Structure 1
């Protein structure tokens, strides 16, 4: 299970219009020594306000909420803050998954997940790894991307800014390898891999590994 940096407390905002769901998730997360739930809200507008005021590490957003749904809240939060977003839903249609990722979310979870998976998701996303690694369903991401029209700008142009090693790093990320696995494959230190990953994010304007994978599929870097 991914762990946060030593001594660091992860701050979380929970947004769900169902009080029982919201309070249940808050109890699970609040029981962890390294996680603090700083706000519980019932709609998207309140979620945006809480994130802007409290600057949490992660926001868990229900997709269907009154006043403003989770997808719109995610777009605003991801565009205006450094907070990472995980979407929560009782539905698992591909459209919701794609729209969540398109909005900038770093994860997509069904509400019937196990408590350990919820805690793991918060830690992974807060650490910048999104919900990728070996447990990510790369097939789902590939299917979603393949069924959507390409963006107006040519992603291939953006890839030309990468060095050879950065391109190799992106390719291995897209295949689901962790930093440690990439380090072994490239015969470099894990610190070097982290530098390459950071450079890829900055040069391509990406938030995390999930969006790097999507770009790699869109560009045909991975099939």
Structure 2
């Protein structure tokens, strides 16, 4: 589904400024990683640079950091879904992920609470490496079976992309960016965002879900054309 409503009035942007795309997503959202690949392809088709900023959205804030079970257990126990149905769902999303070059490994996934991962994203943003951190977290969770809920593990991932491990660890330990995460969540509620991924393009167009690359291309082109129209 593609919405075309302006969430909030924004100041007029220069034609020369890159199109701004605000993305709400969660580290443990399989469609967010798939959507990321499709969006990247859409930007490639668009042919111009865009400015991307990621925002926090928690799909399962009640999940313990060390959930005792698999994603199948979580979805069947917490969501009340039949186990066979869950297996079918995961097989389907794994196949879709493979179609965009991602090899999901649900047998190794650690279901967890992602609040600290979101805090780490804000830490990375502060140091100009938010995009790199997002990719690393998604790959760690869905492909490599790494834990993205514990501070020590997250600090290791931060170090892997070139951030200071001790500084990341300290920021997560004292919850320095927790308020920023909550602000993102509150903004999502204000926009009426109930699921992710959700893309707000140039402050005007909302695109919901892992749409085809051509959809992203078309909305980006429309945003560009509107900037050029007196």
Q: TM-score range by the shorter chain?
A: under 0.3
Higher relative contact order (CA 8 A, sep 6+): 2
TM-score, structure 2 as length reference: 0.25
TM-score, structure 1 as length reference: 0.25
